[in-house]
Amino acid sequence: MAIKREWAVVLALVGGAAMARAEVLEVGSVAPKLGEVEWVKGGPIDPVKADGKQITVVEFWATWCGPCVETVPHLTEFQRKYAAKNVRIVGVSQYDPGNTLDDVKRFIERMDRKMDYAVAFDKSGETYRAYMDAAEQSGIPTAFVVEQSGKIAWIGHPMDGMETAIEELAAGKYDLELAMKLYRIDRKIDRATYDGEFEDLIKAADEAIAVKPDSIGHHLWKFRAYAGYLEKPEEAKKVAEQVLKVAGNDPGKVIQVADEIVMEEDKAGSNALAFAALEKTLAAAPKDVDVRMAYFRALAVTGDTSKAMKLAGETIELMKGNAEKLSRFAEVLSSPVMRVKCGELALRAVELAIEVAPQEPMHHLTKFHILHECKKDLKAANVTGQYFVQLAAGDAEALNNFAWGLLTQDDFKGQYNELALAASETMRKSPGGDSWMNLDTLALAKFENGKIDEAIVIEKQAIEKCPEGPAKPELQAALERFEEAKKGKE
């Protein structure tokens, strides 16, 4: 079932099958028209206006898609931040049995000002085919940024580099020709990775580096290929040396590289290179908590726990007042590799985060995991979990993930059934809470709490809403299990 949830976002849109087409839509292509859509909020907006001023983001989403729901507040923030720079965001939602026009309208109503940008409903799938199918994109959310002359300037997940593209377009600094070259090269890398042709991957990465020598991501593609797939440690070490030169003295870039090249089994000999770069960066900025966290991660991966714990204690003190970083560091401290040694430090970090931001649900979720996994205190974990559910009301994805984990993961299964049910019932009242995935979770929670009749009714609702695809047979199997259990009780 866990696999089902991952596939659903990628594959389950009705009409998502690839169609024969004369030309692939890519960066540099003229943007298609939106087609016959119904404007549910705002609009109409024409992405191919090409007036030399308007930048349009066309983002594909669905009410049942957890990552899409998570992205909505960020898109609202982008719209407000860049409205004065002629940026217009359009969320396009295609019809499927679990994403009807009424579902979209209810979702928008519940979100209210949290979804403060234009939304269009694509009943026929014409717009989806013109963008998503034509660009050979199968996963949502996916955004297409249309620049001022009406050409596609950027394609990808809206939280992964889109804002940088928008800023550069608004400032007149975006290099569309370079973006076109890199996009085509990245497609080669995707294909090579999928096909397992890692020598081809390296050739494609070298192409990208030739046109953009400071592209850390493409250097790291080469490192991964040599260090892992091809098992060529000497070549991997050379790439590690090269990419650290590219990173220079930039702390963010050094962190990005170190996180990739530090390995538990240091076959490439890249660990020493990473530690030298981190120590140099830390010496220049001893209070930079991001560098400190990266250094801690490197120490933890390589097994130097005593030094890691000393660094962690110092770092927590420097983080006081920064709830986000405290909570994030608590997650690192409670990871499997460090939880036995660092449980107390993790708990202290997250409690300091809660002092700063007591109403932030994710801090309490982190505390729940620390109490359960590090401290083995199920009673305290249950109390914290209940508080998380209260604070997370309205966030269907967070509640669904929490409940599903409690019900299905070996470390939790059977220990928090009532908590999982409370999370699932609160989830259903949240925007997007009646999607097929969420209903499936609620049905399982009902079943595990002995409410078999309710579980059967809800699972049938989930099946009715679920599009055709790999998930539907799994839902059907769950229903059959519930029905068999009912027969056994009669």
The confidence band for 242, taking pLDDT boundaries of 50, 70 and 90, is very high
457: Cβ–Cβ under 8 A, 6 or more apart, which residues? none
pLDDT in tens, 390-406: 999 988 888 988 999 99
Q: Are 32 and 130 in contact (CB under 8 A)?
A: yes
Q: For residues 164 and 56, give the distance between their C-alpha atoms in angstroms, rounded to a whole number.
A: 14
What mean pLDDT comes out for the span 194-199?
Answer: 93
Is the pLDDT confidence value at 27 over 60? yes
User: Residues of the chain with pLDDT > 90: what percent?
Assistant: 58
Is the pLDDT confidence value at 19 over 80? no
Is the pLDDT confidence value at 338 over 90? no
Q: For residues 242 and 263, give the distance between their C-alpha atoms in angstroms, rounded to a whole number.
A: 17
What long-range pairs does 334-342 form, CB within 8 A, spacing at least 24? 334/366, 334/369, 334/370, 334/373, 334/374, 335/300, 337/300, 337/301, 338/300, 338/305, 338/308, 339/370, 339/373, 339/374, 340/374, 341/305, 341/308, 341/309, 342/308, 342/309, 342/312, 342/374
Q: For residues 295 and 308, give the distance between their C-alpha atoms in angstroms, rounded to a whole number.
A: 8
Q: Which two tokens stand for residue 133?
A: 């199918």
Is the pLDDT confidence value at 227 over 90? yes
Q: Which two tokens stand for residue 88?
A: 């217009």
What mean pLDDT comes out for the span 271-290?
Answer: 94
Question: Which pTM does this prediction carry?
Answer: 0.70
pLDDT at 339: 66
Q: Which CATH number fits domain 9-173: 3.40.30.10, 3.30.70.890, 2.60.40.1180, 3.40.630.30?
A: 3.40.30.10
CATH topology of domain 392-490: 1.25.40
Residue 14: name the closest of 56, 48, 51, 64 by CA. Answer: 64
What mean pLDDT comes out for the span 328-354?
Answer: 79
pLDDT at 340: 66
Show me where the domains of the chain are located. 9-173, 392-490
pLDDT at 337: 67
